[in-house]
């Protein structure tokens, strides 16, 4: 895939950007360079390569160091809601803004 100067102009218009000719040419080169990299990556034969669920899955002896999912803070709902102008059933009440 290769972009043209017209494509850059259309993208700039959609993004509400004002690009002069110099910036437009530089952006065209950068974006086309990116698309060239993507095309080269698509050309790589990945038949038989299993996707990784996590990058560390490549190294068998590395275990993820995740903390246990336990409650560590006390429930301070009432203390946090003391300064609220309106509370009902443990929920903050706010004015309706959409009709």
CATH code of residue 28 = 1.10.20
Does the residue 27 lie in any domain? Answer: yes
Lowest-confidence segment of 3-7, 21-25, 41-45, 54-58 by average pLDDT: 54-58
Does the residue 16 lie in any domain? Answer: yes
Tokens representing residue 91 in the block: 């929920």
Above pLDDT 90, what percent of the chain? 67
Does the residue 21 lie in any domain? Answer: yes
Does the residue 24 lie in any domain? Answer: yes
**pLDDT for position 87:** 94
pTM for the whole thing?
Answer: 0.48
Residue 39 CA to residue 44 CA, distance in Å, equals 9
Contact by Cβ (8 Å): 77, 67: no
Tokens representing residue 27 in the block: 């952006």
pLDDT band at residue 96 using 50, 70 and 90 as cut-offs: confident
**In this model, does residue 31 exceed pLDDT 70?**
yes
Which structural domain range is residue 36 located in? 5-42
66-82 pLDDT per residue, tens: 778 888 899 999 999 99
Number of separate domains in the chain: 1
């Amino acid at each position: 895939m290769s972009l043209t100067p017209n494509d850059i102009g259309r993208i700039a218009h959609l993004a509400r950007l004002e690009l002069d000719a110099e910036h437009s040419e530089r952006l065209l080169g950068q974006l086309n360079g990116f698309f060239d990299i993507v095309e080269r990556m698509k050309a790589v034969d990945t038949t038989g390569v299993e996707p990784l669920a996590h990058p560390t899955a490549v190294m068998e002896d590395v275990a993820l160091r995740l903390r246990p999912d336990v409650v560590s803070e006390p429930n301070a709902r009432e203390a946090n809601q003391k300064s609220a102008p309106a509370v009902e059933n443990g929920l903050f009440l706010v004015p309706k803004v959409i009709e």
